[in-house]
A and B are shown apart, each in its own frame.
Chain A
Amino acid sequence: MHIPDGFLNVATVATTCAVSAGGVGNAVRIANRKLGEKHVPLMGVLAAFIFAAQMLNFPIAGGTSGHVIGAALAAILLGPWASVLIMSCVLIAQSLIFQDGGLLALGANIFNMGIVASFSGYYLYRLVVSIMGESRRSQLIGGFVGAWGSVFLASVACALELALSGVSPLAVVLPAMAGVHALIGIGEGLITGGVLSLVLATRADLLKLRKI
């Protein structure tokens, strides 16, 4: 879902860069206030964790494989703003080191996989947990729903940006992107649920961290 440079037109680039800069700026402010710059080493190691976790592929139907985005997981464990910060750093490093996603397209990529994915993942999780009550089962289901929703909505945002840039018509790109990612989202959901169940079983205190 990493959009390269050249796919988006100047108007879309400018809009998404402005929105993402605002979002990331706010995340920085909130992280500074609530965490202090002292917890930065921890955030850095967790950003490296998302990076490393993306190297583990999982099988999807039909012999293809996907890998986690990780935004929902980060948001559930640390809170949406922390997740925006971590995902932005991961995306910046991916763009600069691996050329995975463009430099000007960074605004759009941070918006899709950072802001949209973190917030949708976090609030879907909270919604499920508040409806079903605080329990192991509700947390796992919430994790699945949050992760699926985060991947799905991020792909919808990506499709909208491509269509607005005139790369391909909305009627084609939206079902294609959303359809593929509805499938990948199932994988992401199962993985996120699995990770949460392991964390709950071994270090449940980590899920009680103060969210930012």
Chain B
Amino acid sequence: MKHSFLDHYSEGNSLIHRLDPRTKLITSLLFILAVTSTPPTKWPAFAIYFCLIAILLFLSRVPALYVLKRSLVIMPFVLLIAIFIPFFKEGEVAGSYNIWLWQVSVTYSGLQVLWNVVIKAWLSILSLILLTSTTKFTSLLKGLEQLKMPRVMVMVLSFMYRYLFVLVDEVMRMKQARDSRNFGKQQRMRTVANMIGTLFIRSYERGERVYAAMLARGFDGQMRTLDRLSFRKLDACFGTGFGLALILTNLLY
């Protein structure tokens, strides 16, 4: 397997790693909600949100450079918005440029929208990276189940997580086989379609085999596990502390 990139660093042992997954899920959700609902002009609030995340990142001992690299996934979407900025005609003009035939002007309101969207998206992504780098996916699912997510979905997700690696390996092998046959030339649409079709049939048959094997071992639609989640004093302290910090930031600034 060549893909340990999923929930990297989640096996660590720090104050943040030891928190209950439910605490982390709810605080992340609250954090994103607070960030999203803050008006764009309140820039001190955003600075405080960033400091909060930075403190938590420091406590969790997840490498900052890794987090920074991962947080760039929003870039394609930011670019999508960025190209629209010149079209915000109303408002005070910040700068006007002539590009070939077009008269393009950048307005303050357009820049404000960009800043608003980028900072909010970036802070939210940072908090999500923190959540998944400090929590194993299986405990995250356990937490989601306790928070009343439908059981079918939790089970589909947990099967998906287990077989994802097997199927990704399958895809890698198919890619290698394809590349070694056509000497790395540009692949054709038809080849990709056939690969996905083969992948579907193989996945389906694997699913049937897994299901039959589980039935043979007495599966009755119920999953039973030994590990229990525990909501401790640490979680209560962390939850109230973080919640208060968010509320104060939202009210004061």
A interface, CB within 8 angstroms of B? 2-10, 13, 24-25, 28, 31-32, 36-49, 51-53, 55-59, 68, 73, 77, 85-86, 88-90, 92-93, 95-100, 102-104, 162, 166-169, 172-173, 176-177, 187, 190-199, 202-203, 206
Evaluate contact between A7 and B210: CB separation under 8 angstroms: no
B18 within 8 A of partner (CB):
no
The residue of chain B having its C-beta at the shortest distance from the C-beta of A192 within the complex is: B193
B16 within 8 A of partner (CB):
no
Besides A58-B192, A97-B137, A195-B193, 10 other A-B contacts (C-beta < 8 A): A5-B125, A6-B119, A24-B153, A44-B156, A47-B156, A56-B192, A85-B156, A93-B157, A96-B132, A198-B193
Chief secondary structure at chain B's binding surface: helix
Q: How far is the CA of A38 from the CA of B223 in the complex (A)?
A: 11
Evaluate contact between B197 and A195: CB separation under 8 angstroms: yes
Complex interface residues of chain B between 209 and 239 (CB less than 8 A to chain A)? 210-211, 214-215, 219-222
B163 within 8 A of partner (CB):
yes
Question: How many residues of B are in contact with the other chain, CB < 8 A?
Answer: 84
Evaluate contact between A191 and B159: CB separation under 8 angstroms: no
Min CB–CB distance B172 → chain A (angstroms): 9
Residues of A within 8 A of B131 (CB): 96
Evaluate contact between A99 and B128: CB separation under 8 angstroms: yes
Evaluate contact between A48 and B192: CB separation under 8 angstroms: no
Evaluate contact between A172 and B189: CB separation under 8 angstroms: no
Q: How far is the CA of A112 from the CA of B222 in the complex (A)?
A: 31
* Among B77, B125, B160, contact of A51 (Cβ-Cβ < 8 Å): B160
Q: How far is the CA of A85 from the CA of B149 in the complex (A)?
A: 13
Residues of A within 8 A of B197 (CB): 194-199, 202
Evaluate contact between A52 and B164: CB separation under 8 angstroms: yes
Residues of B within 8 A of A53 (CB): 171, 196, 199-200
Evaluate contact between A6 and B120: CB separation under 8 angstroms: yes
Known contacts A49-B199, A56-B196, A4 near B124 by CB under 8 Å: yes
Residues of B within 8 A of A96 (CB): 128, 131-132, 137, 140
B interface, CB within 8 angstroms of A? 6-7, 28-29, 32-33, 35-37, 70-71, 73-74, 77, 80-81, 83-84, 87-88, 113, 116-125, 128-129, 131-132, 137, 140, 150-153, 155-164, 166-168, 170-171, 175, 186-187, 189-190, 192-201, 203-204, 206-208, 210-211, 214-215, 219-222
Residues of A within 8 A of B81 (CB): 7, 162, 167-168
Evaluate contact between A46 and B204: CB separation under 8 angstroms: yes
Evaluate contact between B124 and A103: CB separation under 8 angstroms: yes
Residues of B within 8 A of A4 (CB): 73-74, 77, 121, 124-125
Evaluate contact between A93 and B168: CB separation under 8 angstroms: no
